[in-house]
Amino acid sequence: MNERSFIQFCSITLYGGGRMFGIFKDAEKNIDTYEQVHLILKSLLTYELKELPIRYEFWYRVAIRQEECRTLQAEHRARISMTTAVGRFHQKQYEAMTQKLTKLERLADIYKLFCLEEERATLNHRLYFHQEEIAALYDHIQHKELYTYCDSVQLQFWEAIRDDILNAVADLN
């Protein structure tokens, strides 16, 4: 090999034209729908529980958040009055807390299903027609830093993810 061909070989290898660097790249892991939904749900629940201390067990934090929602729901319900603006405020907050609690309970119940490895084949089969939706949500979760640049956008992002994943897995009972 002469000097000129050696320089060409080195430049091709260094700039990725050769196959040398292919061995150092992590092979992209092809994950199934079950694993995608599992990761989406875990990320979503982790976001929902972010204010609670991480030192607590995950399911304990879920129970704490649900109890907080129930307490707020009861507090707002007790103060509902249709004759005052503050009473109507409590009506709206009561309805919002009811929705939030229902969605949180549904997410936790579905996540429990996706923690059982024995259910993998069954859940993959049942989610077959939602693969594209779930893959799109998974891609958004993988690139969530693009959508979480401020608190209001982050809140909207996670609410959209929650609503879409709940729709995708709505028939799982």
* Separation of alpha carbons 84 and 3, rounded Å: 88
Nearest to 58 by CA among 72, 50, 163: 50
Nearest to 131 by CA among 166, 169, 171, 162: 169
- Please report whether residue 20 resides in a domain: no
* Separation of alpha carbons 48 and 16, rounded Å: 42
**Residue pair 68/124 in contact by the 8 Å Cβ criterion:** no
Look at the chain and report how many structural domains it folds into: 1
Give residue 1's pLDDT: 53
- Please report whether residue 21 resides in a domain: no
- Please report whether residue 56 resides in a domain: yes
| SS3 at position 114 | coil
**Residue pair 44/107 in contact by the 8 Å Cβ criterion:** yes
* Separation of alpha carbons 144 and 157, rounded Å: 8
Say what the pTM is.
0.77
Nearest to 62 by CA among 45, 47, 74: 45
**Residue pair 141/39 in contact by the 8 Å Cβ criterion:** yes
- Please report whether residue 5 resides in a domain: no
Query: At 33, which helix (H) or strand (E)?
Result: helix 33-48
* Separation of alpha carbons 159 and 166, rounded Å: 11
- Please report whether residue 147 resides in a domain: yes
- Please report whether residue 9 resides in a domain: no
Residue count of the chain = 173
- Please report whether residue 3 resides in a domain: no
* Separation of alpha carbons 19 and 173, rounded Å: 48
pLDDT beneath 50: ranges in the chain: 4-27
- Please report whether residue 6 resides in a domain: no
Give the domain extent around 101: 30-168
